[in-house]
Structure 1
Amino acid sequence: MSDTSPILQLPYILPSQAQKHVTHNEALRLLDVLVQPTVLDRDRTAPPASPAAGARHLVPAGASGAWAGHTDEIAVWEAETAVWRFLAPQPGWQTFVLAEGAGLVFTVTGWQTLNQLAPEFASLGISTAADETNRLAVASSATLLTHSGEGHQLKVNKAAAGDTASLLFQTGWSGRAEIGLAGSDDLSVKVSPDGDTFRTALRVDRGTGRVMLPQGMTVTGSVTGTAVQASAADATAGRLLAVGAFGLGGTAPLIGNAEVTDGSIAPGFYGYDSAQGSSGGPSGVQCGILLHQSRTSGAGEVQLFLVESAAGAGCLPGILFSRARSGGAWSGWFAGGVVDSAGNANGRYIRHQDGTQTCWQSVTTVTSGEAAITFPAPFSSTSGLITTMGVNGTAASSICPRITARTATGANVSAFNTSNARIAVRVELISMGRWY
């Protein structure tokens, strides 16, 4: 019969043994070490200089001094005898390393951390069955993945760019939405009404970071931030125009000096009000709308000005002015174009934007006196008014037409023959003057 136990090598009390307490106490000392065993550390290569009674360490490879040759053994300091006692572990022994807060187990390859010995599962089902495709399956009302002190990343890896790494959301095991790298390395968000047909709602280019919306976008709220105009006259490149931008869908922003030549006026519509500091418009204009457009930066600019109100002569509400420049000073303001053209029983007339009016009409004179005529449209005054006449007849060379008593609205017309007698003949009249 052996003198020690087969597992822990505890000494037995032998028959008729003297001083049995010595053997018993020795067994208790070994149990004191091996029951609920802990060690201080396992990386010390030399014994501590002043160990405490009962100090325990795992001896690492390459230890020196009294520990030499005791790799993987538990070294225990026996203060009574001032010696190190070594306990050789057997496979399955466990201990706890206080310095690391880690549990160890002894195997045929040495001490191993317990969590490193967890087996690799071919599949794992938690409250549900796993299969060859879904090797990890969880049935739960929620799944928590949390940090271990700082951040936390959930990694979904794929082998090649053409493969898929995504999150698929289903209803009744039928796909409805997918987020991830679906068949490329661009991030995409796809949706499906039936699990068969998926439409890409959003795609982010992996190289540029630009967002594409292949199906378009509907925004029911406000779009704000630096991607949108800061004011109605904000011309920052790339920003979205808001309602009222340069007078589109709202009040036009007020222009300051309209005749600057440094290219600082952004193309668009502007309000003009001399009472609020606007300047550079046509002479006499008080209020109006200015359209400014540029061909190139700092040059090739044109302006159209629609008058709302004015105080100067030759500048009425509704008149359109224009001017241009090509790298130098602005040209003068030009007014032109037909304002009105019509006909009536008295003839026809045409009115030009600069105030010029032309009337033309046919009149038959009488022998009994002067024929009173009315112009097709009245002139503003007789100042600068000119009327010229011609006779429409075979005897034109022997007939002399005459006009008298002309006013802004009409005149008297007669025709005489060589004998100075009034005759009845068809006369053509053209009158030119101003309508304002």
Structure 2
Amino acid sequence: MPSTSPRLSLPYLQPAQAQKHVTHNEALQLLDAAVQLSVLSFGATQPPAAPQAGDVHALAAGAQGDWAGQDGRLALWDGTGWQFLLPREGWRAWDAAAGALRVWTDGGWRALGTGAGLLQDLDGLGVGTASDATNRLAVSAPATLLSHAGAGHQLKVNKAEATDTASLLFQSGWTGHAEMGLMGGLDFSLKVGDGAAWRTALAADRTTGVVTLPQGAVVNGPLTGAAVQSGPTDATPGRLLLAGAFGLGGPLPPVGNAGATDGSLAAGLHAYDAASGSAGAPAGVQRATLLHSRRADGSETQLLIVEQGSAPGLYPGLVLGRARPSGGAWSGWAAGSLQESGSNANGRWLRHQDGTQTCWHSLNTGTAADTLWTYPQPFASTAGLVVTTGVTGTTGTTALCARAIGKTASAVGLAVVSTSNSRVASGLDVLAIGRWY
């Protein structure tokens, strides 16, 4: 029969042994030390000067004094002397000094940590499921909570090289459909997939912070912020143009001084209303639409479309224009483009924006009385009205002369006469030039 137990080396009582209580007490003493093992120090080499009964120390190599030759063993002070235990694979001991649990493995005491540290350096951990070589941490649960311990909490995903991946992958049926993080580079991106192909929906440049949307975007709500116009006349470069700005999709913003030269007037469309304080248009313009433009060098141009005027010629639709060089004054308002043209049974006409009207016609005169030509469009007055004629036929060798008789703003009498002052039937071309306002 062996004299000690195989695991804890507890001494056995032997047949016909005297003083069996000594052996029995020794076994209890060793059992008292090994069960619920608590060690005062690990790596000790010098015995303490005043040990207490039950004290246990884990000895390191090079133990000295009463511990000499007991390297690697557990030294137990039984109250009168030191007892030594050889730890076995898997023994667990509480490190009283560090407040940590240790395990004897591979010939040494390996720390398992304290509290949450009891789970340090594990090969894998499964909560509600099993971990594997790739998914070292696996959780199967309705939810996973990561809360703060103090002010906040960070979830960190680190990768080794720039070309590697550090991301969060979202799956359905173990097929990935969304992924965000650093995929194959150092710029943040968000990708989505249909199970067959991945597409980058969003990418953020790490050096500029600029976000791009390679697939486009659909925005169903209002856009706000510093990148959007603050009002209908906000002309800050780079801002998004709102519907209604400068009258695009909404009312025209009112203009103050259209003749400002300090750059305060924003380029765009404006409503000109003299009754509401607008100024700078030609005298008599009451309401109009102003188009104001500015070049990079500071030069500016304006077009004014009259809606209502109180002076002659300021008819609705009249277009006036002017310009100024950078740092210079505005030129005068100019008009002169063609306003209207047409024809009827009385001939053709042209009306210009500056008020000039030209009418012309070809007709035949008679012998009984003057032939009346009603202009295709009336003139404003006879002031400055000029009518010229040209005979298109002859009667034998008799010289003919055309004359205009009784000129009014709406018609003129015409006759072709011979040298004997007799009316002659003849073809006649006639031209009238005057003003239509």
Which TM-score band applies after superposition, normalised by the shorter structure?
0.7 to 0.9
How far is 1:361 from its partner? 1.3
Q: What are the Cα deviations for residues 38-92 of structure 1, in whole angstroms up to 9, with x where unaligned? A: 689999xx9xxxx9x999897999xxxx9x99999999999xx9x9999989566
How far is 1:290 from its partner? 1.0
Q: 2:401 matched to 1:414?
A: no
After superposition, residues 36-435 of structure 1 pair within 5 angstroms as: 90=87, 96=94, 101-105=99-103, 112-114=110-112, 115=118, 118-121=121-124, 127=129, 130=132, 134-136=134-136, 138=138, 140-142=140-142, 144=144, 146-147=146-147, 149=149, 150-157=152-159, 159-161=161-163, 163-193=164-194, 195-299=195-299, 301-327=300-326, 328-394=328-394, 398-435=399-436
How far apart in 2 are the matches of 1:86 and 1:272? 108
Could you tell me whether the CA contact under 8 Å between 2:75 and 2:85 is conserved in 1? no
Alignment-mate amino acid for residue 185 of structure 1: L
Could you tell me whether the CA contact under 8 Å between 2:59 and 2:75 is conserved in 1? no
How far apart in 1 are the matches of 2:93 and 2:131? 36
Per the alignment, residue 115 of structure 2 pairs with none
Could you tell me whether the CA contact under 8 Å between 1:126 and 1:137 is conserved in 2? no
* Runs of at least 5 residues in structure 1 that lack an aligned partner in the other structure: none
Alignment-mate amino acid for residue 100 of structure 2: A
How far is 1:285 from its partner? 1.0
Could you tell me whether the CA contact under 8 Å between 2:39 and 2:95 is conserved in 1? yes
**Paired residues, what number?**
423
Q: What are the Cα deviations for residues 113-166 of structure 1, in whole angstroms up to 9, with x where unaligned? A: 323775435x96963574x6x4447462445252562423231525452x4443
Q: What are the Cα deviations for residues 156-213 of structure 1, in whole angstroms up to 9, with x where unaligned? A: 525452x4443333333333333333343333323333x1222222222333322222
Shift of the 361–58 alpha-carbon distance from structure 1 to 2, 3 Å rule, reads farther
Structure 1 vs Structure 2 CA RMSD: 4.7
Could you tell me whether the CA contact under 8 Å between 2:123 and 2:136 is conserved in 1? no
Identity %: 42
Q: What are the Cα deviations for residues 246-297 of structure 1, in whole angstroms up to 9, with x where unaligned? A: 2212112222211222233332111111222221122211111111112214
How far apart in 2 are the matches of 1:326 and 1:179? 54
Could you tell me whether the CA contact under 8 Å between 1:165 and 1:180 is conserved in 2? yes
- The TM-score normalised by the length of structure 2 is 0.76
